Amino acid sequence: MKAANTRDTTSETPPRTRILVVGGGYVGMYTALRLQRKLKPELDRGDAEIVVVTPDPYMTYQPFLPEAAAGSISPRHVVVPLRRVLDRCTILIGEARSVDHAKRTATVVTLATEEEGAGAVELGYDELVLAPGSVSRTLPVPGLADFGIGFKTVEEAIGLRNHVIEQMDIASSTRDPAIRDAALTFVFVGGGYAGVEALAELEDMARYTSRYYHNVQPEDLKWILVEAAGRILPEVGADMGRYAVRELRARNIDVRLETRLESCEDRVAVLSDGSRFPTRTLVWTAGVKPAPVLAASDLPLDDRGRLVCTAHLSVEGADHAWAAGDAAAVPDVTSDVPGALCAPNAQHAVRQTKVLAENIVAALRGRPLTPYAHSYAGSVASLGLHKGVAHVYGRKLKGYPAWLMHRAYHLSRVPTFNRKARVLAEWTLSGLFKREIVSLGSLEHPRAEFETAAGGRPPGHGGPTARARPGTAKGTPPAGTPGALDAPEAAPPGEEPPRTGRDESADSSPDS
């Protein structure tokens, strides 16, 4: 097979040892990075080869997604280009569909195989690192698949930002109170750090953005957090979780504990407490489950579908197979609780890669393996600009100090000096200038303008390049996407949309 890359990954005379890394996230990138350093002599001699199979040419620093959604960090700076960082590895943009470890082969689909219509190809390996992470764990909630959106990728984060601002534009221009109400209602399901940080950052951003609307005020926006358990943010402990609930409620965010989403058909979120919220925004962050490729392997899985691993990060009972991160059930040897496993978070993922890479090299060189041992240090979470909670090494912080710690911690963790410098520069600039408040949802449909000009499909066809864009009448995107909206009932030309009495002259100065 010719890889979609500069190097042929299946040449007639394969290198002596091929290490196949499935996944280019935290675990995949850091493991490959450490391996390319430690195996430099072998790589130089051609005795070893590291192949990274991943659907995207970048690693996403997920803890920065909420800030990307809020516009505090550009999307390009929350991702790390794999080809630049892993310059001694072969990067294959594709997806492993199955793994036959008994035969030491993985079935891989690349962009090229799809173009050629040739189907998946088999890629042989000697050592396997399975790090495909997790995907959103959904439940069979009616309407969820049609109207929900997750919050795990940079595309989702930016799509959501554009969508929220677009809802404010719709609310501002419609004369129909029902459309306005649904547009300004935002429902988030799941009170872990992904859901809470995403909601808190977006609410903060939308509250600020409303200054620039003559007829949308912060109190018009309805933010609802739905959590099935009796607390949020378990990662920061019970006290800080309670503080976070108080802080969010003080901002008029409707936090509903011990409540479940029952359905969201026809864009109406129905909760287990009987309440109903017509909404165009339903964000689902209620947990994750292991990536589907694991189920298509002959490797042992636990009851949650994660790879059963040893403390050495090898897959139980399978020589030459290794795993870490969200996809792996790794014993927590620091816990007193029998059978305790490491939680699926970045803190464990990044530390595991150090031991993982060392153990692979040790195995190749016939040396003893080291067990992974790290006791959870605690967590930090942002609740919007200048607001946060933290519980780290037994110390509890809230408000500005916690937010500062959140930024300092993640700045120290985001990979590469290049990204650290860019993120720091952006934070500094955003402290000096006003926030960005535009929706660039049209970027998702770059051909729409030209299609209309060229007399292609008529506006409102609902095709993939169309989107609701007031003024250009580009139509609407498919239901279920963040931009999936019914065309709002706009105020007739020459008539003002309904006003809410806000003083338009306030905050009308241009960006400083």
Ligand X SMILES: Cc1cc2nc3c(=O)[nH]c(=O)nc-3n(C[C@H](O)[C@H](O)[C@H](O)COP(=O)(O)OP(=O)(O)OC[C@H]3O[C@@H](n4cnc5c(N)ncnc54)[C@H](O)[C@@H]3O)c2cc1C
Tokens of 433: 């200038």
**What does the buried/exposed string (b/e) look like for 33-47 if buried means 16 or more CB atoms within 10 Å of the residue's CB?**
bbbbebbeebbeeee
Tokens of 338: 């029998």
Give yes or no for residue 9 binding ligand X (CB under 6 A).
Answer: no
CB of 130 to ligand X, least distance (A): 9
Q: Which is nearer to ligand X, 279 or 345 (CB)?
A: 345
Residue of 116, 115, 81, 109 lying closest to 94 (CA atoms): 109
Do the beta carbons of residue 139 and residue 288 sit within 8 Å? no
Among 347, 439, 452, 465, binds ligand X (CB under 6 A): 347
Q: What is the DSSP string of 47-68?
A: SEEEEEEESSSEEE-GGGHHHH
Q: Which is nearer to ligand X, 54 or 185 (CB)?
A: 54
Write the interaction track for ligand X spanning residues 179-198; mark x where CB under 6 A is met and - where it is not: --------------xx----
Strands 148-149 vs 378-382: parallel, antiparallel or unpaired: unpaired
Give yes or no for residue 344 binding ligand X (CB under 6 A).
Answer: yes
Give yes or no for residue 201 binding ligand X (CB under 6 A).
Answer: no
CB of 234 to ligand X, least distance (A): 13
CB of 263 to ligand X, least distance (A): 25
Among 67, 95, 127, 220, binds ligand X (CB under 6 A): 95
Q: Report the half-sphere exposure of 373 (CA within 13 A, side-chain side).
A: 7
Give yes or no for residue 346 binding ligand X (CB under 6 A).
Answer: yes
Q: Which is nearer to ligand X, 157 or 183 (CB)?
A: 157
Q: Which is nearer to ligand X, 252 or 375 (CB)?
A: 375
Diameter of the chain measured on Cα atoms: 80
Tokens of 103: 């035969």
Q: Which is nearer to ligand X, 277 or 284 (CB)?
A: 284
Q: Which is nearer to ligand X, 31 or 162 (CB)?
A: 31
Give yes or no for residue 388 binding ligand X (CB under 6 A).
Answer: no
- Cα 438 to chain centroid distance, Å, stands at 21
- Whether the CA torsion 357, 360, 362, 365 is positive or negative: it is negative
Give yes or no for residue 327 binding ligand X (CB under 6 A).
Answer: yes
Q: What is the rounded CA–CA span in Å between residue 253 and residue 483?
A: 23
Give yes or no for residue 485 binding ligand X (CB under 6 A).
Answer: no
Give yes or no for residue 99 binding ligand X (CB under 6 A).
Answer: no
Q: What is the DSSP string of 85-110?
A: HTTTSEEEEEEEEEEETTTTEEEEEE
Q: Which is nearer to ligand X, 80 or 182 (CB)?
A: 80
Give yes or no for residue 374 binding ligand X (CB under 6 A).
Answer: no
Give yes or no for residue 326 binding ligand X (CB under 6 A).
Answer: yes
459: left (phi over 0), alpha (psi -120 to 50) or beta: beta
Q: Which is nearer to ligand X, 331 or 497 (CB)?
A: 331
> Looking at beta carbons, which residue is closest to ligand X?
25
Give yes or no for residue 62 binding ligand X (CB under 6 A).
Answer: yes
Do the beta carbons of residue 347 and residue 391 sit within 8 Å? no
CB of 391 to ligand X, least distance (A): 12
Q: Which is nearer to ligand X, 153 or 217 (CB)?
A: 153
CB of 411 to ligand X, least distance (A): 13
Contacts of 496 (CB under 8 A, 6+ apart): none
Interface of this chain with ligand X, residues 13 to 42, rule: CB under 6 A: 22-28
Give yes or no for residue 291 binding ligand X (CB under 6 A).
Answer: yes
Write the interaction track for ligand X spanning residues 112-131; mark x where CB under 6 A is met and - where it is not: -------------------x
DSSP state of 280: S
Give yes or no for residue 289 binding ligand X (CB under 6 A).
Answer: no
Q: Which listed range, 50-58, 175-183, 356-364, 425-433, lies at the site for ligand X (CB under 6 A)?
A: 50-58
Do the beta carbons of residue 302 and residue 167 sit within 8 Å? no
Between CA 128 and CA 58, with CA 7 as vertex, the angle to 5 degrees is 65
CB of 184 to ligand X, least distance (A): 24
Give yes or no for residue 345 binding ligand X (CB under 6 A).
Answer: yes
Give yes or no for residue 79 binding ligand X (CB under 6 A).
Answer: no
Give yes or no for residue 132 binding ligand X (CB under 6 A).
Answer: yes
Between CA 497 and CA 503, with CA 502 as vertex, the angle to 5 degrees is 115
CB of 192 to ligand X, least distance (A): 8
CB of 437 to ligand X, least distance (A): 22
Q: What is the rounded CA–CA span in Å between residue 173 and residue 496?
A: 8
- Whether the CA torsion 393, 399, 401, 407 is positive or negative: it is positive
Q: What is the rounded CA–CA span in Å between residue 213 and residue 498?
A: 12
Strands 268-271 vs 222-226: parallel, antiparallel or unpaired: unpaired
How many residues lie near ligand X (CB under 6 A)?
33
Numbers of helices and strands, H then E, in the chain:
14, 24
Q: Which is nearer to ligand X, 132 or 497 (CB)?
A: 132
Q: Which is nearer to ligand X, 131 or 389 (CB)?
A: 131
- Kindly list the residues in this chain that would bind ligand X in the complex (CB under 6 A): 22-28, 53-56, 62-63, 65, 95-96, 131-133, 151-152, 193-194, 291, 293, 325-327, 344-347, 349
